[in-house]
């Protein structure tokens, strides 16, 4: 995705430009003066010209972005297929389709990677995705092939970084390769290098947090989520995740409740979280607060009203 404000290139899944901070806006171009126009503008305010018609390449890019917006639902693959149909050279669409399939079926993911690699045999992202599919082969017959691909990718990443150590994308890719090689500490270090270059990459902070979790580094996980919160303070999930870490791994229920409260301020309809908070409050002896939490939980979930009355009776007695 190219920012219409600063022309920086960034990942499609972000909702804003990490370089200038402006919100992502789909735009077209005036056919006369090439002024950038948002999609809702039908006449160029600068010269009166009309927007150019959407080309197949533009349709492909749009469909690829729409597929990413659908996340892990059942339909992203349809968008990626359409994107590829309009432009088979859209490697990002091949990569995104293969990553989606990797979470579901190894054989289809490998087939998708092979099809994309016929168009661009050296694409590092497709090779990485193929290695993931090979690693998932239950017969393990291709596990060595996956390791060969990953080690070759690691060499290529190191070569690229020797030429340009400020290449954010390669640092991220190297981190993903190292993670697949089960070198999580080294992978986290690569993500940290990328974040030094571009600290506004919210998605990468979340990916770093997840790797820290897998590496049992819970304080690093918390700090990564806090960085994501600085970039997106209205995402209640980040506060909830921090609360979960304090609750489940650090065993600091006071801190957990503090972050659960922040999450519930942003999303007061989270029934499960009200129940979790109530249980923690009960554990540390805050019975009045626990009763309030259970009350809200019951109001949001009438089916559980009977359980609420049992909890209320417990506290009264």
pLDDT, position 233? 95
pLDDT, position 66? 85
pLDDT, position 128? 95
Tens of pLDDT, residue by residue over 233-281, are 999 999 999 999 999 999 999 999 999 999 999 999 999 999 999 999 9
Least Cα distance to 24 among 46, 9, 44, 34 occurs for 9
| CA torsion through residues 253, 256, 262, 267, sign | negative
Positions in the chain short of pLDDT 70:
1-31, 34, 37-40, 42, 51-52, 71-74, 137-144, 303-317
For residues 130 and 116, what is the distance between their CA atoms, to the nearest angstrom? 10
For residues 148 and 142, what is the distance between their CA atoms, to the nearest angstrom? 10
Q: Which domains does the chain have, with CATH numbers?
A: 233-316 (1.25.40.10)
For residues 69 and 280, what is the distance between their CA atoms, to the nearest angstrom? 35
Least Cα distance to 93 among 101, 7, 205 occurs for 101
Tens of pLDDT, residue by residue over 118-134, are 999 999 999 999 999 88
Say whether pTM exceeds 0.75.
Answer: yes
């Amino acid at each position: 995705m190219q920012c219409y404000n600063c022309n920086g290139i960034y990942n499609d899944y972000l909702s804003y430009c990490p370089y200038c901070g402006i919100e992502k806006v789909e735009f077209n171009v005036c056919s006369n003066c090439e002024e950038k126009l948002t999609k809702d503008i039908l006449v160029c305010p600068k010269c009166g010209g009309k927007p150019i018609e959407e080309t197949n390449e533009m349709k492909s890019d749009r469909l690829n972005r729409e597929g990413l917006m659908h996340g892990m639902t059942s339909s992203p693959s349809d968008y990626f297929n359409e994107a590829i149909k309009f432009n088979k050279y859209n490697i990002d669409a091949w990569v995104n389709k293969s990553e989606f399939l990797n979470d579901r079926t190894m054989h289809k993911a490998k087939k998708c990677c092979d099809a994309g690699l016929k168009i661009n045999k050296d694409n590092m992202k497709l090779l990485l995705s193929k290695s993931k599919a090979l690693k998932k082969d239950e017969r393990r017959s291709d596990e060595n092939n996956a390791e060969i691909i990953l080690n070759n990718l690691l060499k290529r990443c190191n070569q690229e970084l020797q030429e340009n150590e400020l290449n954010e994308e390669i640092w991220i890719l190297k981190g993903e390769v190292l993670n697949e090689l089960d070198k999580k500490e080294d992978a986290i270090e690569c993500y940290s290098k990328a974040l030094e270059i571009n600290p506004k990459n919210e998605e990468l902070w979340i990916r770093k947090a997840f790797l820290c979790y897998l590496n049992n580094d819970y304080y690093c996980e918390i700090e990564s989520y806090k960085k994501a919160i600085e970039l997106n303070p209205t995402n209640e999930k980040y506060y909830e995740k921090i609360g979960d870490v304090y609750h489940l791994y650090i065993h600091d229920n006071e801190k957990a409740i503090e972050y659960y409260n922040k999450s519930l301020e942003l999303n007061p309809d989270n029934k499960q979280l009200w129940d979790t908070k109530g249980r923690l409050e009960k554990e540390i002896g805050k019975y009045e607060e626990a009763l309030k939490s259970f009350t809200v939980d019951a109001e949001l979930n009438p089916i559980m009203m009977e359980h609420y009355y049992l909890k209320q009776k417990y506290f009264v007695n």
